[in-house]
Amino acid sequence: MPRLSTFERHGLVFEVRDTGPQDGIPVVLLHGFPQTSASWGSVAELLNGQGFRTLAPDQRGYTPGALPRRRRDYRLSELIADAVALIETADTGPVHLVGHDWGAAVAWGAAAARPDLVRTLTAVSVPHPLAFIQSMSRSTQAFKSWYMLFFQLPWIPELLLSNESSFTRSLRGTGQSAQNAARDMADLHRLGSARTAVNWYRGMPLTQPSVLKRKVVVPTLQVWSDGDTAVGRKGHELSQRFVSGPWELRTLEGVSHWIPDEAPEILTQLLTEHFRKHTTNA
């Protein structure tokens, strides 16, 4: 299989980190906010060492060729279609689909919409979007998610993200390391993508619920960490009702929201166990 450095959809060009054995079983890694594919670096290296090929795209809003400015361009249906386009362009057959944070929301939608393209689903840190919404009234999730309402404001969130000291301090307060916070801030500044990163949240109210109503039929693993300040456990527990295939929830103790950066070895172990449990040739 040839290496994939970019893929296109509707005139947008997305950069991709394609690493590992070219004939390895493919694993697609979707990043979250406010990160790029760099956040998967350690996990990808570990997976590559075990014979898996990893495809980690920089999603829209985080890559130079795909920085649309309108809120509507960040509806979940568009984000899901981007992920599907990557898998179809790679033309490797079904993939193990893994997403962290916002990448998990995209992965949930892609796995439900196109199970023919997905071997297994792993959602890291973020539950099924509808379960997440339900958890708002059944737990403290609404208090944890205050920033989502804040991000609907014009201009002010962009100012926060553009201020290196204040935003780095915010990231550090959620458990992110100083080194990784600096990396993510540098990427935002390099791309000038503060607005487009926030637009992932601004596109939420424009997403049609029907996008998420189909159940996930592929084997699904959820990974949550009890040090997560943004997402509580309840939404993960409620997610099972949106999965008709095999489902499992694993909890990491003493780990923050930033699981791929903070606990890559443990996460990779869970991923490979999940892949091999549900795929005879993985």
* pLDDT tens, residue by residue, 155-209: 999 998 988 888 999 999 999 999 999 999 999 888 888 999 999 999 999 988 7
Count of beta carbons in the 10 Å neighbourhood of residue 29: 28
Task: For the chain, list residues with pLDDT below 50.
Answer: none
Output the pLDDT for position 1: 66
Q: In 56-173, which ranges are continuous DSSP H helix? A: 76-90, 102-113, 129-135, 141-144, 146-150, 156-162, 164-173
Alpha carbons 130 and 51: distance in angstroms, whole number: 35
SS3 state at 2? coil
Output the pLDDT for position 282: 59
Structure tokens at 119: 């071997």
Cβ neighbors of 39 (< 8 A, separation 6 or more) are 31, 32, 100, 180, 184, 258, 260, 261
CB-based burial label for 210 (10 Å; 0-12, 13-18, 19+): exposed
Domain residue limits, the chain: 6-278
Alpha carbons 44 and 28: distance in angstroms, whole number: 10
**Where does 6-278 sit in CATH, by number?**
3.40.50.1820
What sign has the CA pseudo-torsion 73, 78, 79, 82? negative
The position carrying tokens 């947008």 is: 12
Residue 200 — φ and ψ, nearest 5°? -60, -35
Q: Nearest-CA neighbor of 48 among 74, 83, 12, 20?
A: 20
Output the pLDDT for position 209: 79
